Structures are given as C-alpha cells and as structure tokens.
Structure 1
Amino acid sequence: MSEWSFTLLVDQPLTPEQADVFDHCDAFADGSVSYTLGPENPEDYPHRPDPDKLRELSCDIEAPTLLDAVAQVARDIRLIPGLRAVGVRYGDTVTLAEAAQRCGPELFEPARRHGFPEPEASSGGTEFYSWREIAAWLTRAGHVVPEEPRDLLIADRALRLADALEGTDVPPGTLCSLGLPRIRCSGC
C-alpha cells in the first residue's frame, strides 16, 4: 500500500466542539489527518487566520490508490457531526516519493538526470520540490504528465457534486439523464 498526501476541503472550519469529537474519534487516532483550529474570538488578534486554511485537513493516508485514500477520509469525516468533505487538492510542494506517485515510478526513476529541478527547501533531511517544475521538466523530456492525477480529479469533482446536491431534491431520473449512475451506498 502507498501513502497518499493531499488536502481535504471541508464545508466549514471546525468548531471547538467538532475538534473535540475529532480528537476522540478512533478513525483519526493514528494522526494521519490533522486540522487547524482558529481562535474563539479572532477579532481579538491582530493577525487573523485565513478562513480558507481553517477549512483544510492535511491528510497522509495509506491506501491502494489516491481515490481510495480520499474516499476513506471523506467517509470518516462524516463521523464529526455537521462536517462533510466538499473537495480535495494536492499542494505544489512534494518530496521525491510523492512526485514519483504522481507521475509513476517508470517515468520518475530515469528522470533524475541533468537539468532536473533543484529542491526548493529541506527539513530534517527531507528535500522538497515544486511539482510544477518537475512536471514541466518531464514534459520537456517528452513525457505526458497530467496536471492532476485522474483519481484526484474524480475525487474532487465527486465531492463538489455531492456538496452541490446536499439538501436538494433532484429526481433520480434527472441525475441518470445527466449521465450519473444510480448508486446505492449502504454507508451514506
């Protein structure tokens, strides 16, 4: 199994009550998902946290695929009352292992040759690179590198659609006509 690193977007910043449930939830006990909790009275501070950053969960999940990893966290986050996943994204900063996941080891292993992008930072012996620079270098070397992995694109669009459909009454026939399969999920 691979470890997948991504950012899950949730519909709202965690409240202190939700953070307490999160902290005591067995699904998150391994520390593979983390959040940032804003202060109770942000107006009391000269530097307020970015509200968008408070809606992000940092995830490092072991799963067979990226899509499985996102689905696992999106399912588990519903254990927190009033919270749901609404999107997912990758950051630009990657380790070499994460870059290899994104483009496939068969492209990545021979790629570390002359002209390969230099690390942008390092911490504790780990070097961090820009994914955009690596993807551009691979493209110049003649490889086809998608901007976003297909699993990430599917997960993000599915979560955004589920969010748009939340609380609406769209007939199943309409969804089917739009090309959406009728799916029954026992966990929903």
Structure 2
Amino acid sequence: MEWSFSVLLDQPLTREQADAFDRCDALADGAISYTLAPENPHAHPNSADSAMLRELACDIEAPTLLDAVAEAVQRIRLIDGLQPVGATLPGTVTLDEAAQRSGHSMQSLAQLSQDQRFPEPVSGEGTVLYSWDRVAAFLRDIGDPVPDVPQDLVIAEQALRLARALDGADVSPGTLRALGLPTA
C-alpha cells in the first residue's frame, strides 16, 4: 500500500543538504522530494512559502501509515542536519486515498460516492481530488467512526517530538526505562 504524506523539518533544506539528498542512494527512488528556495528569493516574488520549504513530500509503500512515516524518517536522517519534527497528511485526496484513510474498500467508497450527499470533487482536471475534511464529515454523518487524525499519525507525531526533545538531553538510562522507553 502506498501512503502519501509530508514530513516536516525543523528548518528548510540548505543547498548543501539538497546536494547530499540528491546523491544519497537511499533517497534515489524519488519517494521523498523537497522544495528548495531560490538562491535569490527577492528576484522570485512568487516562490514557495516558507512552510512548504520545511516539508518533504513522501509517497512510501508500507503496510501502515506509521511504517511509512518511520521509513521516510529513517531515510531523511541519513542527511546531516535534517531534523524531522512532524508529519502531516494532505488535505485533498483521491477516492483511493480516502478509502485508505477511512478503512473502507475502494469499491465501497466508490459506491458511497454515488450518494447525492457525497462531497463534490475540489478538482476535476486530471486526477480527481476531494477535500478529506468533507469526505470524513460525510462518513461521520452516515455513522462511520472516522477519527479526526489517524492513530498512526498521532503516534508518529508524538514519537518525533519525543526524539527531538531527547536529542542531546542528559537523561539517564534508568529514567528512560522508568518511562517505558528503550535505552539503546
């Protein structure tokens, strides 16, 4: 199963990190991509916003979203200075992605999309995209327990925050064990 999400970094990539990223064999498959700021941002008034420069777009095959985020983070950490601090899911989805997030089969969600109350696509050119928030609201309205944020994403977010907090912190192995955390 392929999962589409973004990994958030603590800062935008530098040119040196982008070069290392491009030369890294573990990142050569194109499953993780970045946006780099122009060298002279004042000459490019319509360049990407700063939040986008801190996001790495990921399309990773894995059994679960948590496994996919872990795979992406492991690869990203191969580049010196890149610090993953969060993960997000896109606000727009295909029907396949909506089925994946909601736990429905593609067939059942395609059938539900024929309902008059199902949200209209937000994009019809090329790939048909839907607002995930509207699809989730529709599913909740018909009685499906769709969480606001998937549990896998909650776990990934908390794990990344903890890893960042522990980075360079002087915490004894005994304290980590007492908190139920691994020490190695």
| TM-score normalised over the length of structure 2 | 0.90
Runs of 4+ aligned residues of structure 1 deviating over 6 Å after TM superposition are none
Specify the alignment match of 1:25 in structure 2. Answer: 24
Aligned pairs for 1:1-150 (under 5 A) are 2-47=1-46, 49-106=48-105, 108=109, 110-112=111-113, 113-124=115-126, 126-150=127-151
Give 1:181's aligned residue: 181
- Distance change in 2, residues 1:172/1:183 (3 Å): closer
SS at match of 1:163: helix
| Pairwise CA distance, 1:108 | 3.3
Q: Which runs of 5+ in 1 are unaligned?
A: none
* Equivalent-residue separation in structure 2 for 1:119 and 1:76 (angstroms): 34
Q: Using structure 1 for the length normalisation, give the TM-score.
A: 0.88
Shift in alpha-carbon separation, 1:169–1:132, aligned structure 2, 3 A: same
Q: Is the 8 A contact 2:177 2:183 kept in 1?
A: no
CA–CA distance in structure 2, aligned partners of residues 105 and 172 of structure 1: 43
Amino acid aligned to 1:118: E
**CA positional deviation for 1:48:** 5.3
* Aligned mates of 2:72, 2:144 — CA distance in 1: 32
Query: Residue 123 of structure 1: CA displacement?
Result: 3.3
**Cross-structure match for 1:162:** 163
- Mapped to 1, the partners of 2:183 and 2:157 lie a distance apart of 18
Alpha-carbon spacing, 1:136–1:28, altered in 2? closer, same or farther (3 Å): same
Amino acid aligned to 1:97:
D
Counterpart Cα distance in 2 of 1:3 and 1:65: 9
Which AA in structure 2 matches 1:181? L
- Give the length in aligned residue pairs: 181
Residue type matched to 1:171 in 2?
A: S
Deviations 1:131-173 (A, max 9, x none): 1001100111011101111111111110111112211112233
CA RMSD of aligned residues (A): 1.8
| 3-state SS of paired residue (1:121) | coil
How far, CA to CA, are the matches of 1:157 and 1:54 in structure 2? 22
Q: 1:24 to 1:123 in 2, by over 3 A?
A: farther
State how far apart, in whole Å, the 1-side matches of 2:170 and 2:125 are: 49
